[in-house]
Amino acid sequence: MKSYQIYIDGKWINSVTGKTFQSLNPANEEVIGEFQSCNSYDVNKAVDAAEKVFSSWSNLPAPKRGELLLKVANLLREDKERLSKLVSLEMGKVYKEASGDVQEAIDIFEYMAGEGRRLFGITTPSELKDKFCMTTRNPIGVVALITPWNFPIAIPAWKLSAALICGNTCVFKPSSDTPLCAIELVRILEKAGIPKGVVNLVTGKGEDVGNSLIKHNKIRMISFTGSRDTGEFILRNAGLKKIGLELGGKNPIIIMDDANLDLALEGVIWGAFGTSGQRCTAASRVIIHKKVKDKFEKMLINKVKKLKLGDGLNKKTDIGPLVNKRALEKVHNYTQIGLREGAKLICGGKLLNKKGYFYPATVFTNVTKNMRIAQEEIFGPSLAIIQVNNLQEAIEVCNSVKYGLSSSIYTKDMSNAFKAMKEIEAGLVYINSSTIGSEVHLPFGGVKQTGNGTREGGLGYEEFSEVKTIYVDYSGKLQRAQIDT
């Protein structure tokens, strides 16, 4: 069995603990490799390495940092096929989606490379004569990046690219379900010529590594993507750090009575069952007009029953496995909850007698908005159908959850579309498209308990930089704003 190391100060080393953990292929439960179980001592070494080189890295002109990020994008492009297979192997998603995961990383590194020649501030007139006012963007310092398993290349790339272009140095802690994807990404950064200490990788349990990062007094910022509960823990324990949180979702697709049902069907299948429902933007609720509910359900059942479960590397597979046994048990537990609540199971919902963490596409109907399966994030291939009488009721049901990440409406009526755009409480709204499909040059994030208002993607440089306001008074005398008018 191959054993992998962590990356600190430009060197691949073992953890001081001497302990390791295993990463499994979720399609067959076979061991992929052994990885270092780090502790606070390893974290301290990584933070010290990042702190040591912060000055030199942040003083490198941003366009030069951009050139390095462009090298990363090109190396990812050259290695896309191998990395895509690795994502599918370690995380479980089907190959086409794994390829999209890597493509996102290519795109965001390429995009952020261009930000090296922007990172715009503003100039504005002063209220006083012979005085100049402007703002600049400045790095924060040593930042901790804590990433999930469902996009094991893309999400780390979103954070790393934005943090690096702004001049920060990084300590990167990936999910323990996908450590090999993280290692391969860091190897590409190393190959591109990232200076020693600028990016450091530590692996291990959240309670050991994550806690140490969250509470570390030299860490100036935490960027976290993951569960709402962990996000709350970070806010309670991080102290006076800048915090970026991208948490859960309970995303709706509204289908109006005038919708193109064939198009809506494609969007629901993709949104609910793409990545086996393991996306924060997955469509877990269909809010549908009563006039078309029965017809759409028949279309949906017919389509869902044809979906093939299997290894993501098999070209015939439509739905890959869930990431681990805990995820499988959680999804099935929600099926039992839905049945107890009185929802009608019309498809799936059964544990399969096969190796791997597979769960069939599951659909409930006759769901009411207050049922747990309509309120809580399941993070699996489970869909709740909720009937409504009109658009206003649809929007009320849409907004009845604590999350507000992604949303969608299918309608041919522009009045419906614009009303939904205005009134839906979500960071992302799609018209006649699924809840999945964010592009890297646009901001990504949600409202309410989906996060704390930060945005990644196209506005990632805002999350990973601080604004400095500068006044230049060349009048040769003391001028007092608000007094000497």
| Whole-angstrom distance, CA of residue 439 vs CA of residue 241 | 28
The H helix count followed by the E strand count for the chain is 15, 23
Rounded to 10°, the helix 95-115/62-78 angle is 160
Q: How many angstroms separate the CA atoms of 326 and 334, rounded?
A: 12
State the Cα–Cα distance between residues 189 and 160, nearest whole angstrom.
10
What is the set of active-site residues? 246, 280
- Residue 348 Rama label (left phi>0; alpha psi -120 to 50; beta): left
Is 413 strand, coil or helix? coil
Taking CA atoms, 83 is separated from 28, 73, 183, in Å, by 19, 13, 11
The residue count for the chain: 485
- The secondary structure element, H or E, covering residue 284 is strand 283-289
Contact present, 6 and 14 (Cβ < 8 Å):
yes
Amino acid identity of residue 387, one-letter, is Q
The HSE-up count of residue 368 (CA atoms within 13 Å, CB side) is: 6
8-state DSSP, 432: S
Tell me phi and psi for residue 81, to 5 degrees: -65, -45
Query: What's at 50, amino acid-wise?
Result: A
- φ/ψ of 14, rounded to 5, equals -90, 155
